[in-house]
Each structure stands twice: as C-alpha cells, then as structure tokens.
Amino acid sequence: MRAALLTVSTSKARGEGEDTSGERLVEFVGELGLDVAAREVVADEQPTIEARLVHFCDELGVDLVLTSGGTGMTLDDVTPEATLAVLDREAPGIAEAMRAASRPHTSHWMLSRGVAGTRGRTLIVNFPGSPRSIAQCGEAIATALPHALALLTGERVGHGDGESVPRST
C-alpha cells in the first residue's frame, strides 16, 4: 500500500526551515508498513491544497493521504476546508480520536480542526503541524488505519478480531 504526504506551511513552502512534521509523517507511514509514493510541501492556500489532494487520490491512486499543518485557528489555516471540499465521506471518529489523544498533552486540544474521510478508495487524514502532536495522534489511530485501508481496498475484514479475509466475487 502507498501513502502520499502533504505538509501545509507557507514558510516551509518558501524554503524557510526544515519540514520536521513531514519527516515525522514519513516515520509514521513506515511504522504502518506503507510506502511513501509522494511527499510535498505547499503554502496555506485552499485551491492548492485541494488540487494536491485530488492529484494524490485520483491520479496517483494512493491508499492514504496524510497532511500536516493548517488545522488550527488562524485565518490562513485552511487544510480542513480544503479536505472537506474533496471528500466523498467523512470519518469523524478518526479526527475525534486524534483530538482526544492530544487532550492529556495540551489544554488547547479542542482548537484542532483536523478532519478525516475518504475520496474514492483513498483515506485522507489531517494531522497537526507539530511533530510531537503527530506522534501522539498517530499512536491513537495506528491500529485502526490498516483496518480502514483494508476495507477501502475491498478486503472483507472481521470486526474486532483484526483478521482480513479476501472478498469473494
């Protein structure tokens, strides 16, 4: 299975500083056993974010797209809006689990506006921009993501036992 990673940061897109959140997403994808098919950095611009998400899902056909950054409360934090614009279906439990995982670590956990959902057979998940938060949130959803990806690829999977069974035609 393949993943695409999108860091949303105007300063990083201008070449100011290292993309540490993108590096943490690479590590997380490796922990999931997925291959990184694409990794990009874009500015906090909704049309650009939407275009890259559509490209990853529709043209590259990746199984998972992870974004980092642009999920806060500033006026240029538009990653959730861009993601919602391209989703077919939301998966609110993923975003809720990520926020819940942040709660013990910051009193501002409820300000994160990240969303998750599907476009076709691709799962898209918005992560915060902090590498530390990515690790905390990733840990909260790591066991559910392989199950979700298996369902999206058409595998018949058990509910609760973690076993996958090929879908018969």
Helix ranges, the chain (H): 10-13, 20-32, 46-54, 79-86, 92-102, 131-141, 144-152
pTM: 0.91
Which whole-number Å values give the CA distances from 127 to 25, 73, 157, 160, in the listed order? 9, 14, 26, 25
CATH code for the domain of 92: 3.40.980.10
How many domains does the chain divide into? 1
Q: Read off the pLDDT of residues 69-100 as tens digits, 9 standing for 90 and up.
A: 999 889 999 999 999 999 999 999 999 999 99
Please report the pLDDT score of residue 86 as a whole number: 98
